[in-house]
Amino acid sequence: MPSLKRNFFFQFLLAFTQVAFPLITYPYLARTLEPSGIGKVGYIEFIAGLIITIFSVGIPYYGVREIARLKNNIAGRGKTFLDLISIHLLTSLAGMAFFFVVLSLNKSFDDQPLLYLGALYILLQAFSVEWYLQGTEAFDFIAIRSIVIRIVGIIAIFLFVKTKTDFIIYYGIITATQLLVSIVSLSKAIAENNFTKASIQLQPHFKPLLYFFLTTTFISTYVFFDTIILGFLTTEEHVGYYTFSLRIVKLPLLLLLTFNTVLYPRISFLQTEKMEDEAKKYQIFTADLILTLTIPLTVCFYFLAPEIISLLGGAKFYPSIPVLQILAPLPFVISLSNFFFLQVLSPQLKEKRIMLTVLLGSMLSIGLNYLLIPSLKEKGAAIAALTTESFVCILLAIFSWQHVKVIMKWKTFISSSVLSVFVLPITILCKGQFNQPLMIILSTILFFGIIYILVQAFLLRNMAMRAALFFKKNCSIVNR
């Protein structure tokens, strides 16, 4: 079984590049494509993302769990892979057809090349087999593959995206990188399995996939419908303001969800082997780390929103500032929801409770978006998104309460909240000393970060913080 320390390293490396690379391209793309170009691509991306989520019928979650549970059964693993990729291919073809229907309903949409690129992007998801790679804990392969291909994509963006009319070229580059990901990933999966005696049997997967399908469908409603409704009820500029802020605030989640991504297959395996105490140690560590990191991040996003938007988007994206401030708590809320979903409920096969939660969340999202967007535009979509995500998080916590009351540490929540208050005076001080947004952001994060880490790690002896800093005597979890 691969070392968790090695898995964490490569997944964190991948997540770091997923944060760093957009920070390289966002300022250039925002100034080159402008809000209208960003809005066009964002609109297609969100519709494609919605369809991918729905028509993957839960395979990205179910596949990870089942491959992890069959880790020591090579024959069963290969058969399950063949079954699931067959299902995914069929549903992706259906998703392509649905994509064409949805876009045809929007009479204002007239960028046909984006339509065909979006359809191809949807089809390619069936061959990326990320669920298989995560289930086998091939995090080193995932990281190296993704980083190399993304570097190629970044170079292509700077070479070929030159004017605001090049938004089609930009989305073409995104689709081309996905094609490379699918080719490389599928090649590895085929090489690791023997299919000569395997026969495709789809029916045994239908019932468990049904719960995952309904769950991901309801999730997609409140994750993607806000942007789609915003596109129908407002203009491309308003979509651009909203999606720009949403992407920024969700960037840290790529790092924060590293532990959930790595530990989901491991905890699923431990639950199968009846190793409950071992699984709980991982859950306690992750919950503590989420509280320690996401609370100060929320406060930093709120107070530094003007500088962040000015740096990454420029003057034309100033309407995104209040949107980013509204969305600031999302890293905290989504990280906890993801934790309850992947580390507490899903490994214990509590799909029905998860499905009920996201069903209620989707209903709330649709109602709020139609109520708030006509008058508040992108700010209404942001309020609806934060309210829905918070509702889902609270409900998942209630369903997880039997385990959460043992796992969660209120001391960590209180100490992180109190310490985060110091972001405000430090931000005011840095704004008085510097004029450039980059210097204000860096100095605030540096000064506050040093104080926060030292107090948490040494004065309060926060075990999650000490483990994250790789203090040897306190990092038994990550070293396993």
Q: DSSP for 162-204? A: -STTTHHHHHHHHHHHHHHHHHHHHHHHHHT---TT-----GG
Burial of 455 (0-12, 13-18, 19+ CB in 10 A): middle
Q: What are phi and psi of 334, to 5 degrees?
A: -70, -35
Output the pLDDT for position 107: 66
| The two three-digit tokens of residue 260, written as one number | 């959930």
Which residues, other chains included, contact 183 with Cβ-Cβ below 8 Å and sequence gap of 6+?
127
Output the pLDDT for position 471: 45
Residue with tokens 């990550």: 478
Angle at 24 (CA atoms; ends 254, 185), nearest 5 degrees: 50
Q: What is the pTM of this model?
A: 0.73
Q: Please count the other Cβ atoms lying within 10 Å of the Cβ belonging to residue 242.
A: 31
Q: What is the DSSP letter of 341?
A: I
Give the closest residue to 273 by CA, choosing from 72, 8, 2, 476.
72
Angle at 380 (CA atoms; ends 316, 394), nearest 5 degrees: 125
Tell me the C-alpha distance between 439 and 159, whole Å.
29
| The two three-digit tokens of residue 453, written as one number | 């880490």
Output the pLDDT for position 1: 57
Tell me the C-alpha distance between 347 and 438, whole Å.
42
Which residues, other chains included, contact 275 with Cβ-Cβ below 8 Å and sequence gap of 6+?
none
Which is it for the CA torsion 37, 113, 254, 236, positive or negative? Answer: positive
Output the pLDDT for position 231: 79
Q: How far is CA 135 from the centre of its chain?
A: 18
Give the closest residue to 330 by CA, choosing from 215, 222, 402, 238.
222
Tell me the C-alpha distance between 347 and 345, whole Å.
6
Output the pLDDT for position 109: 67
Tell me the C-alpha distance between 120 and 104, whole Å.
17
Give the closest residue to 135 by CA, choosing from 69, 79, 36.
69
Give the closest residue to 87 by CA, choosing from 180, 201, 190, 195.
201
Tens-digit pLDDT string for the chain (480 aa): 566 678 778 877 887 887 788 878 888 888 888 877 888 888 888 788 888 888 888 888 888 888 887 776 777 778 888 889 999 999 999 999 999 888 877 766 667 888 899 999 999 999 999 889 988 888 889 999 999 999 999 999 999 999 888 989 999 999 999 999 999 999 998 888 776 666 777 777 788 788 778 877 777 777 777 887 887 888 778 888 888 888 888 888 877 777 777 777 777 677 666 676 777 777 788 888 888 889 999 999 999 999 999 888 888 888 999 999 999 999 999 999 988 887 788 777 677 888 888 889 888 988 999 999 998 888 999 999 999 999 999 999 888 886 666 667 788 888 889 998 888 899 899 988 888 889 999 999 999 888 888 888 888 887 777 766 654 444 444 445
Q: Please count the other Cβ atoms lying within 10 Å of the Cβ belonging to residue 288.
A: 23
State whether residue 230 is helix, strand or coil.
helix
Output the pLDDT for position 196: 65
State whether residue 435 is helix, strand or coil.
coil
Tell me the C-alpha distance between 477 and 267, whole Å.
13
Output the pLDDT for position 203: 77
Q: Would you mind telling me the total number of residues written for the chain in this entry?
A: 480
Q: What is the DSSP letter of 348?
A: G
Q: What is the DSSP letter of 347?
A: G
